[in-house]
């Protein structure tokens, strides 16, 4: 190792040490780092789900016969629904939908039993379109139950089995990697990406601007080190902290929810480094644009919000319009979430995540150049 | 409290803001950005999902089924040659699902036996899989019914479900997200902006300077908060325009009613911002606090996840958040065209919680002053 390089490394480490000490004493920062993962884990682990449950619905049964009551009972027994409200008119149904007291209204015509014997039965379903995601799924479930209804007693035993007898074709279905289709797994797989994004963006952006405001950045500039060495020294403890957060989240998810990564752990650890570096670099870049911490906050939010929305950690990016989908590719979180799902849920290994890793490294490289240009030594 | 002093403070604030185009720009741009972003991202429609199909039958009936699946536009069919191809495609994410049509599919159908089609979804993308499942079930059921009636079998007599969605016939996700975004902006972004602005003022020392003038703490804070509230009220109108002009979503009815209630809800926003800023020493701390508390609030408020899907204790927590009631109100007006007559219980709860929050904020301020 040449003396020049050793000196540089020593300078970076010295700055890293100083930075770690500062962070350790920042109580607000430390408490956020501890509290946020706990809150998010509990929310995603226990609370939030897109799978319809406790669906309020109403029945306008104009037939009042044994088969119509059986149909209602079968829908109720599927497990998605609350006991139905019985109503006497369409107006009442519309009113319930309008007030949000029912998501679906099932209308059974007076001739239902006769139609059933003739082989042409029909029921009507009114859905509350103001909750489209739930409405679409509930509509699908009810249609399915109705189709199975005519198929005889075979499907009546087990509510919602793997096999749906859809009229004359049985549809057996399997959800690979997530048999019960738990939304929980969808969120937990990428929770660490969300937490790391928050940590990296806010720590690095607010840190540097804050220092500029108090003047300690200028003091550091007076040291015999280059701007890029300062930046690297500042990032080092944050990288360490990120890995700590990563390990903590991984363990907590495993112990609390028995949700362990199915794929290669080594690949997960390797993958996290370019992501953390790229996210920190975004934070630093943001802070080099801002003059006050208020500005840094606003610009950071400008980056965090699209990151969460466009990356696909909350909403599948496949849903997005074609014009918007590629924009997400500029965000490290998009690539990290793709890779996380492959490693965590689908049991992939290093070879499956090489492309996302390369993409994140490329983003990091570009940002580093931009930061270097922004932070060229100048006072004022 | 003197109106004259307050007026002077307001004039000062207006002048100071006009000299700071960055902050004004942020105040207007961030809510609009949020509106456009969220408006586009959520859709219930499955479009062009790559479905690997292993057709072991290759008969007229199986081709009919595949054609029906393709015709909806929900799935893009990728023919594969083995089960292994499907499994591999799922791991590396190239396909979103797979379908296996068994050999003898057409023959079984013709003879009145029930053939079993296997569908495999990528459970890692739970939201997508859940929607795709509902779609595919419906398509298979419909095709099955047609194929059976075309064939020698008598109709099996399972009830056809004629579905119509009120308020949003195509089950379009855009209006759902648009109406929720008002809640997101007012319960999170605007709170953040308020908190940071107040802390910054304190750090810059302007508060201390103002405190040596005859103005009281309440007047100073109102002088800061009222212009901000006014800007947020304008933001709401701009967001309504952006949603209408860019995303084609207007309130189903009562646009002015919506704007007025939202403008009043801004008071809760300002109160939250005040609470976070009063308890923080630096801008960074205020941000951390806001993010820590507001993100769970937004998640629990029904913005993205229906509250009824949560476990009961969380539902109770959600009911205690003003954001929940505001978002419920916003959806009701925007999508269902509900008016004051239908919504008065919700508005009452909103007003109660809002008053409570403003009260807490004023107390916090009084103790800190």
How crowded is residue B76: how many other Cβ atoms within 10 Å of its Cβ? 14
pLDDT at A160: 43
Mean pLDDT of chain B: 83
Q: Do the strands B160-166 and A122-128 form a parallel or antiparallel pair, or are they unpaired?
A: parallel
Residue of B nearest to A119 (CA): B157
Q: Which of these CATH numbers, 2.60.120.560, 3.40.1710.10, 3.40.50.10860, 2.60.40.1930, describes A57-172? A: 3.40.1710.10
Of residues B279 and A323, the one with the higher pLDDT is B279
Closest CA to A377 of A260, A223, A146: A223
- Each domain of chain A, given as residue ranges in start order, spans 3-48+182-374, 57-172
pLDDT in tens, B13-32: 778 777 777 777 878 888 88
Minimal CA separation from A78 to chain B, in Å: 14
Q: What is the pTM of this model?
A: 0.80
Report the C-alpha gap between A329 and A278 in whole angstroms: 13
Minimal CA separation from A11 to chain B, in Å: 27
Match 């350790």 to its residue by tokens: A24
Nearest to A50 among B40, B49, B309 (CB): B309
Flag whether pLDDT at B162 surpasses 80.
Answer: no
> With contact defined as beta carbons under 8 Å apart, do B229 and B267 qualify?
yes
Q: A160 exposed, middle or buried (CB, 10 Å; 0-12, 13-18, 19+)?
A: middle
Q: Do the strands A85-86 and A57-61 form a parallel or antiparallel pair, or are they unpaired?
A: parallel
Contacts of B32 in chain A (CB under 8 A): none
pLDDT in tens, A57-112: 999 999 889 888 988 988 888 888 999 999 999 899 888 888 888 889 999 989 88
The encoded tokens of residue A132 equal: 């489209």
> With contact defined as beta carbons under 8 Å apart, do B95 and B89 qualify?
yes
Report the C-alpha gap between A57 and B333 in whole angstroms: 21
Alpha-carbon torsion, ordered A333, A335, A340, A343, to 10 deg: -170
**Percent residues over pLDDT 90 in chain B:** 13
Mean per-residue pLDDT for A214-219?
68
B228 Cβ neighbours under 8 A, 6+ residues apart:
B27, B193, B194, B197, B270
Report the C-alpha gap between A96 and A88 in whole angstroms: 12
- What is the separation of C-alpha B363 from the centre of its chain, rounded to a whole number of angstroms? 32
Report the C-alpha gap between A338 and A190 in whole angstroms: 9
pLDDT at B137: 78
pLDDT at B256: 93
- For the question of an ipTM over 0.90, the answer is no
Q: How many residues does chain A have?
A: 380
**Percent residues over pLDDT 70 in chain B:** 94
> With contact defined as beta carbons under 8 Å apart, do B97 and B49 qualify?
yes
Q: Does B17 touch chain A (CB under 8 A)?
A: no
One DSSP character per residue, A156-174 reads TSSSS-SEEEETTEEEEEE
Report the C-alpha gap between B242 and A302 in whole angstroms: 18
Q: Read off φ and ψ for residue B165, nearest 5 degrees.
A: -100, 125
Scored b (16 or more CB within 10 A) or e, A68-81 reads beebbebbbebebb
pLDDT at A163: 57
Residue of A nearest to B168 (CA): A129
Nearest to B91 among A116, A172, A348 (CB): A348
Of residues B321 and A25, the one with the higher pLDDT is B321
Tell me whether residues B162 and A123 touch, CB distance under 8 A: yes
> Does residue A111 sit in helix, strand or coil?
coil
One DSSP character per residue, A216-228 reads HHHHHHTSSS-HH
pLDDT at A332: 92
Closest CA to B182 of B226, B225, B232: B232
Residue B100, beta-bridge partner list: B54, B118
> With contact defined as beta carbons under 8 Å apart, do A304 and A198 qualify?
yes
Contacts of B334 in chain A (CB under 8 A): 130
Selected for mutation to probe chain B from A156, A297, A346 (highest B CB count within 10 Å) is A297
Minimal CA separation from A299 to chain B, in Å: 9
Residue B52, beta-bridge partner list: B78, B98
Split at pLDDT 50, 70, 90, the class of B260 is very high
The encoded tokens of residue B193 equal: 């902006």
Match 């907590």 to its residue by tokens: A252
Helix (H) or strand (E) holding B121: strand B116-122
Report the C-alpha gap between B273 and B284 in whole angstroms: 14
Flag whether pLDDT at A273 surpasses 90.
Answer: yes
> With contact defined as beta carbons under 8 Å apart, do A46 and A191 qualify?
no
Domains and CATH numbers, chain B: 3-42+173-368 (no CATH), 49-150 (3.40.1710.10)
One DSSP character per residue, B155-170 reads P--PPEEEEEEES-TT
């Amino acid at each position: 190792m040449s003396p020049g390089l050793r000196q540089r490394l020593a300078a970076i480490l010295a700055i890293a040490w100083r930075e770690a000490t500062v962070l350790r004493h920042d109580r607000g920062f430390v408490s956020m780092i501890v509290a946020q993962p706990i809150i998010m884990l509990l929310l995603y682990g226990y609370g939030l789900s897109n799978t319809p449950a406790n669906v309020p619905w109403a029945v306008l049964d104009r037939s009042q016969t044994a088969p119509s009551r059986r149909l209602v009972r079968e829908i109720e027994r599927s497990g998605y629904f609350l006991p139905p409200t019985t109503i006497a008119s369409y107006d009442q149904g519309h009113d319930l939908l309008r007030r949000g007291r029912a998501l679906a209204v099932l209308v059974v015509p007076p001739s239902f039993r006769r139609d059933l014997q003739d082989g042409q039965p029909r029921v009507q379903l009114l859905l509350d379109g103001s909750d489209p995601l739930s409405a679409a799924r509930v509509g699908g479930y009810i249609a399915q139950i109705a189709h199975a209804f005519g198929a005889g007693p075979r499907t009546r035993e087990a509510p919602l089995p793997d096999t749906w007898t859809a009229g004359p074709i049985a549809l057996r279905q399997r959800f690979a990697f997530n048999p019960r289709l738990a939304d929980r797994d969808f969120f937990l797989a990428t929770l660490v990406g969300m937490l790391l994004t928050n940590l990296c963006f806010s720590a690095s952006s607010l840190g540097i601007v804050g220092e500029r405001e108090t003047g300690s950045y200028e003091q550091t500039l007076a040291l015999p080190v280059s701007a890029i060495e300062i930046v690297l020294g500042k990032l080092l403890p944050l990288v360490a902290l990120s890995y700590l957060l990563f390990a903590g989240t991984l363990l907590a998810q495993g112990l609390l929810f028995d949700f362990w990564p199915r794929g290669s752990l080594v690949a997960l650890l390797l993958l996290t480094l370019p992501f953390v570096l790229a996210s920190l670099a975004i934070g630093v870049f943001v802070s080099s644009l801002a003059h006050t911490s208020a500005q840094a906050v606003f610009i950071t939010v400008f980056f965090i919000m699209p990151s969460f929305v466009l990356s696909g950690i909350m909403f599948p990016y496949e849903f997005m319009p074609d014009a918007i989908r590629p924009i997400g590719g500029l965000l490290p979180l998009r690539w990290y979430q793709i890779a996380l799902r492959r490693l965590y849920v689908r049991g992939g290994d290093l070879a499956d995540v090489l492309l996302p890793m390369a993409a994140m490294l490329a983003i990091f490289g570009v940002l580093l150049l931009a930061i270097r240009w922004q932070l060229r030594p100048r006072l004022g | 409290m003197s109106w004259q002093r307050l007026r002077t403070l307001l004039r000062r604030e207006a002048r100071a803001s006009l000299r700071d185009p960055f902050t004004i720009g942020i105040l207007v741009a961030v809510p609009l950005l949020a509106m456009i972003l969220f408006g586009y991202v959520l859709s219930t429609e499955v479009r062009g999902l790559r479905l690997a199909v292993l057709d072991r039958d290759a008969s007229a009936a199986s081709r009919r089924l595949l054609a029906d699946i393709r015709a909806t536009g929900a799935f893009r069919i990728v023919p594969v040659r083995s089960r292994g191809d499907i499994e591999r495609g799922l791991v590396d994410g190239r396909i979103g699902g797979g379908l296996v049509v068994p050999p003898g599919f057409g023959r079984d159908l013709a003879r009145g036996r029930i053939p079993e089609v296997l569908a495999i979804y990528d459970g890692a993308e739970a939201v997508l899989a859940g929607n795709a499942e509902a779609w595919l079930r419906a398509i298979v059921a419909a095709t099955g019914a047609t194929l059976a009636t075309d064939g020698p079998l008598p109709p099996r007599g399972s009830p056809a479900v004629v579905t119509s969605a009120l308020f949003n016939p195509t089950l379009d996700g855009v209006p759902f997200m648009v109406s929720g975004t008002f809640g997101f902006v007012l319960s999170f972004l605007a709170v953040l902006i308020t908190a940071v602005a107040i802390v910054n003022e304190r750090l810059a020392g302007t508060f201390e300077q103002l405190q040596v003038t005859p103005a009281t703490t309440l007047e100073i804070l109102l002088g800061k908060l009222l212009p901000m509230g006014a800007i947020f009220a304008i933001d709401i109108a701009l967001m309504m325009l952006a949603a209408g002009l860019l995303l084609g979503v207007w309130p189903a009815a009562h646009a002015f009613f919506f704007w007025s209630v939202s403008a009043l809800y801004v008071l809760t926003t300002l109160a939250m911002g005040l609470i976070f800023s009063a308890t923080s020493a630096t801008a960074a701390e205020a941000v951390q606090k806001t993010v820590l508390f507001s993100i769970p609030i937004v998640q629990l408020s029904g913005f993205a996840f229906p509250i009824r899907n949560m476990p009961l204790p969380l539902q109770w927590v959600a009911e205690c958040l003003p954001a929940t009631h505001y978002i419920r109100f916003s959806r009701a007006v925007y999508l269902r065209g509900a008016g004051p007559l239908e919504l008065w219980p919700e508005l009452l709860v909103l007003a109660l919680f809002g008053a409570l929050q403003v009260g807490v904020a004023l107390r916090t301020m009084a103790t800190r002053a």
